[in-house]
Amino acid sequence: MRYVVGYQPDDRGADAIALAVAIARAQGTGLEIVYVVPENAPYVAVNPQGKRVSAGEQEVLTARREALKLVPSDIDAEFRVVDSDSFAEGLIETATTQSAALIVIGAASNGLFKRFSVGSVANALLHASPVPVALAPRGYQRKGPLTRLTAFIGERQGAQTARDVALRAAGRRGLPLRLVSLVALDTHERSDSGEAIHQAHLHANSVLSEAATNALDGTATVTVAHGRTIEEAIDSLDWDDGELVIIGSSRLAQRNRLFLGSTALKVLRALPVPMVVVPQEGVHGLDAPGHV
C-alpha cells in the first residue's frame, strides 16, 4: 500500500509532500504524488520524449519535476496525472484504485502560519473520503520522522477508533503516545466545571490502563486539557515539532466514510501540528506495517 499525496505546484503541495515524507519515513511506504488536471484536457497522459510540447504539457512536466525534487532519495515516489474536474474526487478515486492507506494534503493557503484553514478540497475530503486523511498545516516543511503521537480520547462514538489506531501506530513505530482529553468549560454550568474535569481525568486514566495492556506501558501518558473553549484548551498543550494528532470522524459519518464534526473542526483550526482523521470503520489497512 502507498500514500496518495494531493499535489499542486504551490506551498500547499510542498506542505503535503513534507508531511507524507515524515509519516512514511523508515516505514517502507511509497508515495503516489497525484496531480489533478481537468477531465478531457489534451495533455493528461502526455509523456513526450524530446518532442516539442504545448503549454499544458509543459505545465505537467514542470509540476512533475518540482514535485519529485521535494522527495528525499530514500523515499519511493511516483508522479501520477489524474484527469478529474474535482481535485478531491481525483484523490479519492486514486486512493481507492491503488488501495492507498492515506490521503495527504496541505491546508488552505489563507490560514495562519502553522495553523489550518479548511478549504474546499479539505472540506470535501473530510466529508467523503473512505480512507484516512492527513492534513499538513500551512508552512509545514519538517521531513524528519515522527517523534510523538497524540490521540484525543473523548467518549463519543468515533473516539475509540482513533484511540485504537493511535495505540497500534505508536506500538508499531516505537513512539510515545499522548492521550488527551479536552474539556471546554464554557459548555458546562459553572457549578459543573470541576466535575467535568474530574470525570475527564477518570476517563483518561481508564484509557491509559487499557494502553498498558497494549505493550505501551511507560510510553503512553494522559493529559487533561481544559479552557473556556476547545481552542483555549488546545493552546494550553505543549507540542513537539515532530508530532502527529489522530482524531476520529463524527458519529454522523456514513459507513466507511469520513465526516468531521463541529468539535473536530474546532480542534483542526487550533492545532499547530499535522492531524490525521480516521473513519469509524474500514481502517484495517492502518494495521499493516508502513501505515499511520
DSSP string of 61-84? HHHHHHHHHTS-TTS-EEEEEEE-
Do 223 and 127 lie in a common domain? no
| Res 221 pLDDT > 90 | no
Say yes or no: 66 and 193 in one domain.
no
User: Looking at the domain assignment, is residue 19 inside a domain?
Assistant: yes
Q: Are residues 120 and 221 in the same domain?
A: no
Q: Is 46 exposed, middle or buried (0-12, 13-18, 19+ CB in 10 A)?
A: middle
Does 233 lie in the same domain as 212?
yes
Domain that holds residue 203: 148-287
Q: Do 110 and 203 have their domain in common? A: no
- What cell numbers appear for 234 in the block? 488546545
Residues 91 and 45 placed together within one structural domain of the fold:
yes
Choosing from 104, 136, 168, the residue where a domain stops is 136
Same domain for 183 and 264: yes
Rounded to an integer, the average pLDDT of 27-46 is 76
The grid coordinates listed for 292 are: 499511520
Question: Is 214 within a domain?
Answer: yes
Does any domain span residue 142? no
**Same domain as 101, residue 159:** no
pLDDT digits 0-9 by tens, 227-258: 888 888 899 899 998 999 998 876 544 555 67
CATH number of the domain residue 190 falls in:
3.40.50.620
Identify whether residues 57 and 160 lie together within a single domain: no
Final residue in a domain of this structure, among 72, 101, 136? 136
**Amino acid 105: pLDDT:** 94
Residues 205, 95 share a domain: no
Answer yes or no: do 219 and 194 share one domain: yes
Q: What is the pTM of this model?
A: 0.82
> Can you give the pLDDT at residue 259?
60
Residue 141 lies in a domain: no
Q: How far apart are CA 70 and CA 99, in angstroms?
A: 24
Backbone φ and ψ for 55, nearest 5 degrees, come out as -60, -40
Residue 70 sits in the same domain as residue 160? no
What is the rounded CA–CA span in Å between residue 267 and residue 32?
28
Structural domain tally of the chain? 2
- Asked whether the predicted pLDDT for residue 58 surpasses 50, the reply is yes
Distance in angstroms between the alpha carbons of the first and the last residue of the chain: 12
Q: Which residue has the cell 478549504?
A: 119
